[in-house]
Amino acid sequence: MRIERKIQVMGVELVSPSSPLANFLPIKRTGNTIYVAGHLPLIPNGDLIFPGKVGGQVSVEQAYDAARQATINCLASIKESIGDLDYITQVIKLLVMINATPEFERHFIVANGASDLLVELYGNIGQHSRSAVGMSSLPRGSCVEVEMIVEVSD
């Protein structure tokens, strides 16, 4: 519960994720590895924050915050699956997809919204490899979507 206390101190609310609207699992565990499906930056009331294209309607700062929120939602799904976020022993990989205009080139800054949160919460075990890629669109017009791979203890 140490990580969840940190999250509360940050003023962040972990909300139970809604069921997927398509044919996939939000979490798939194999051994000690958890694959987290793409999560959008939904806030507790279910609204999407900062819809639109980064470099267009959405600023880099807004997209950074959206990547952070999407990562919080990934953590909420992990918590629902394993019960306690302290069981994460290693954040392995992030994929941060950015709905961006063709000329946008600062994907790495947007993806730092996810990375900075994980390192803030977990320190060294929150450090990870990462891909930050531009997309022509994302579900519901979201500006970002985040996937994670983590290792957990038994």
Query: pLDDT for 103-133, tens place per residue?
Result: 999 999 999 999 999 999 999 999 999 999 9
Cα separation, 57 vs 110, in Å, equals: 14
Q: What is the pTM of this model?
A: 0.96
Task: Give 10-31 pLDDT, tens digit per residue.
Answer: 988 888 777 777 888 999 999 9
Domains of the chain, with CATH numbers? Answer: 28-152 (3.30.1330.40)
Amino acid 47 reads: D
What are 98's strand-pairing partners? 134, 144
* Beta bridge pairs of residue 90: 151
Cα R_g (the chain), whole angstroms: 15
pLDDT above 90: percentage of residues in the chain: 87
Bridge partner residues of 88 (DSSP): 152
Q: CB under 8 Å to 11, separation ≥6 — which residues? A: none
DSSP annotation of 61: H
Task: Enter the tokens of residue 68.
Answer: 């952070």
- As a whole number of angstroms, the distance between CA 93 and CA 67 comes to 15
